[in-house]
Chain A
């Protein structure tokens, strides 16, 4: 049985990850797994089990508010899920054929590149496009939300629909092969290829990661990797944190969100690069 102090600190840290996850559309596995294993001495399989649950908690905790406020674009999420889920299955079949070492390094390079692209557009508040991609019209992917900071309705026209779908397929393959949630990659694809407002990108990514994580959670559950006394404080912390994250989203600008995202991308790039060097 974990001590009360440890349970308290795990909850507190998870609260922070929940805020980040809700704001940035990432699952937070990249932070939770190392923190649990290094600082709390928790076995890696329980740490991964808890991180899978934390992805679902971030997603479902934030989605109630984001879907209601239409910051999450349900149609874009569903359409892109076609890419991520089929990609994940492809990835599962590619396991053993592609070297994980090379994959980690390619992934690190993509994250580095997208950090650079985001830095380039760091002061851009909203994308300006008169028309969307022809597919966007047919698929009803152009929409609007009310931005509480700008105090106006923000209409957006979705660009690069096939590119976005293709990138999601790649994101799915990487998820299937490396067992990572890949929220950062999804945000990058929506931000760079589809040119959605940053808030729409992170909220929609946040919505999507829960669906994929739920599919794998069943497996971890059956395997006994989900330890209740570790996972409960993580889930409680993340659920409460993601609710607070939604409130913060209402108060910050898209450009600020992007500035928070850049160092996270760099951190992931370094982390993945190190894994690439270490992986067999």
Chain B
């Protein structure tokens, strides 16, 4: 009884459509999180086993890129954290397209508005 109920519901809600906003966002978030986790684990491992050098990590993208090429643990961690920071931004940006795809233009508009405010506050550098 329980399983058939659950199956029916799932079928009605998600599986009947080959593509849904929920499915796309869920899968893309999972991919982002796994990539981030792998990078963090590798980076942390390298920091722990690596030689005890003075930690001179940097925060601009070009420096991180240079350190990445040299295989520095902290740069791999930074890359993992950047992937993590970008997951919510990606999720908002993708929603604009996905709502549009479902012909829900009102929500496309709302999401675009939110993304614009996020960018403005990012530029202001003052959001909580």
Q: CA of A152 to CA of B128 in the docked complex: distance in angstroms?
A: 38
Query: Which A residue's beta carbon lies closest to that of B26?
Result: A68
Q: CA of A66 to CA of B33 in the docked complex: distance in angstroms?
A: 14
A60 at the interface (CB under 8 A from B): yes
Q: Which of A29-79 contact B (CB under 8 A)?
A: 53, 56-57, 59-61, 63-65, 67-68, 70, 74-75, 78-79
Stretch of A124-132, A211-219, A255-263 lying at the B interface: A211-219
Q: Which of B13-59 contact A (CB under 8 A)?
A: 13-14, 21-23, 25-27, 29-30, 32-33, 36-37, 40-41, 43-44, 47-48, 52, 55, 57, 59
Residue pair B110, A78 in contact (C-beta under 8 Å):
yes
Q: CA of A243 to CA of B84 in the docked complex: distance in angstroms?
A: 15
Residue pair B110, A79 in contact (C-beta under 8 Å):
yes
Residue pair A88, B127 in contact (C-beta under 8 Å):
yes
Tell me whether chain A's interface is mostly helix, strand or loop, or mixed.
helix
Minimum CB–CB distance from B62 to chain A (whole Å) comes to 13
Minimum CB–CB distance from A77 to chain B (whole Å) comes to 9
Minimum CB–CB distance from B93 to chain A (whole Å) comes to 11
Q: Which residues of A contact B57 (CB under 8 A)?
A: 227-228
Q: Which residues of B contact A174 (CB under 8 A)?
A: 128
Interface size on A, residues (CB 8 A): 71
Tell me whether chain B's interface is mostly helix, strand or loop, or mixed.
helix
Interface size on B, residues (CB 8 A): 63
CB-CB contacts of A204-241 with B at 8 A, as 1s and 0s?
Answer: 00000011111111110111101111011101100110
Residue pair A64, B81 in contact (C-beta under 8 Å):
no
Residue pair B85, A218 in contact (C-beta under 8 Å):
yes
Stretch of A106-114, A177-185, A187-195 lying at the B interface: A177-185
A85 at the interface (CB under 8 A from B): yes
| B59 contact from A140, A175, A221, Cβ within 8 A | A221
Residue pair B128, A56 in contact (C-beta under 8 Å):
no
**Lowest 6 A-B CB distances belong to which pairs?**
A175-B128, A92-B126, A228-B77, A68-B26, A85-B117, A214-B88
Pull 27 A–B residue pairs with CB atoms less than 8 Å apart, ordered by A: A1-B52, A7-B44, A56-B85, A57-B84, A63-B91, A65-B26, A67-B22, A68-B22, A70-B13, A70-B14, A74-B95, A81-B114, A85-B127, A89-B117, A92-B124, A151-B5, A172-B128, A174-B128, A179-B128, A210-B88, A221-B85, A222-B59, A222-B60, A226-B78, A228-B73, A232-B77, A235-B80
